[in-house]
Amino acid sequence: MKLAIIQYNAGNIQSVLFALQRLGVEAQVTEVAEEISSADRVIFPGVGEASSAMNYLRNKELDQVIRNLKQPVLGICLGMQLLCSHSEENETDCLGIIPLGVRKFVPGGDGIKVPQVGWNSINNLRSLLFKNIASGSHVYNVHSFYVPDSSFTIAETDYGIRYASAISKNNFYGVQFHAEKSGAIGETILDNFLKL
């Protein structure tokens, strides 16, 4: 199987590579359109800021490449948010693959700190992405922005509000948490993605 990781100006690619190596899987890190389009699976990771990430994707014409992908695609953290239509982070127009808006967490008196950093549970799991994973399993989060619950939600998390910790539309999947830093649970999710 040919696995491509999209390289752009957003971090966490190395930790994704390490997680895949632990699964015995080699991946190609690339920003070459042909290599991404011809891969059997594509991972779209990301840590960073939405507007600069989108500017980079547009400048390299990778925005159109990603929109046209037909194989399974997994967006992680910022990668998931960029699959959506719009982000409140610097009022950024994103890829528009999944018609959802990305919102900023509002710090609250109930102990809500922004960003959310650390372990939280995923619940109401409804996708083969979560095969053999129990509802209530814990995954690792680092994010200030979130996607509200919708018909595209395939997993939920509660952080003062209930939000989509994973979304899906057609061949596109997104997880808000860092699967690559979520231990055995995260590795199972990555393995499930490779088997979709």
Active site residues: 77, 178, 180
What φ, ψ does residue 63 adopt, rounded to 5°? -60, -45
For 1-30, give the secondary structure using H, E and C. Answer: CCEEEECCCCCCHHHHHHHHHHCCCCCEEE
Burial of 174 per CB tally in 10 Å (0-12, 13-18, 19+): buried
Whether the CB-CB separation of 100 and 148 falls below 8 Å is answered with: yes
> Terminal CA-to-CA distance of the chain, rounded, Å?
12
Residue 119's SS3 state is strand
Q: Using the 8-state DSSP alphabet, how is residue 41 labeled? A: E
